[in-house]
């Protein structure tokens, strides 16, 4: 992996992202992107044999809880304060926001 990218490579990446970079920024980003790629290459070389795949470092999430049936509003109670409810369909009507 190269220690840095060329100014031309950074300019091409910037053009794809529709970014306008001056000469100083091209030099700075060439060095920084090269450093990032070098570090990513180092990470790829780490031996992870025997390490199980991990989706999260947390074993449980606060949202992981058993579902519990609890009393809630009836349909009539839920629709009582709706300004334009379609009670027969059990729906709230709202103004269109996308034309």
- Tens digits of residue pLDDT in 31-62: 999 999 999 999 999 999 998 888 777 766 66
Tell me the backbone φ, ψ of residue 85, rounded to 5 degrees.
-85, 145
Concatenated DSSP letters for 14-60? HHHTT----HHHHHHHHHHHHHHHHHHHHHHTS--TTPPP-S-S-SS
Whether the per-residue pLDDT at 12 is higher than 90: the answer is yes
Block residue for tokens 């109670």: 77
- Give the model's pLDDT for residue 75: 80
Question: Residue 92: beta bridge partners?
Answer: 85
- Give the model's pLDDT for residue 89: 75
Taking each helix axis as running N to C, give the angle between helix 23-44 and helix 7-16, from 0 to 180 degrees, rounded to the nearest 10. Answer: 90
Instruction: Sketch out the chain's domains with CATH numbers.
Output: 7-44 (1.10.20)
pTM above 0.85, yes or no: no
């Amino acid at each position: 992996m190269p220690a840095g990218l060329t100014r031309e490579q950074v300019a091409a990446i910037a053009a794809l992202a529709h970014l306008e970079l001056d000469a100083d920024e091209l030099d700075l980003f060439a060095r920084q992107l090269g450093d990032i790629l070098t570090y990513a290459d180092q990470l790829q070389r780490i031996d992870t044999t025997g390490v199980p795949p991990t989706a999260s470092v947390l074993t449980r999430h606060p949202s992981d809880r058993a579902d519990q049936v609890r009393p809630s509003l009836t349909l009539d109670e839920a629709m009582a304060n709706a300004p334009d409810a379609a009670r027969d369909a059990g729906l709230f009507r709202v103004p269109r926001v996308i034309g």
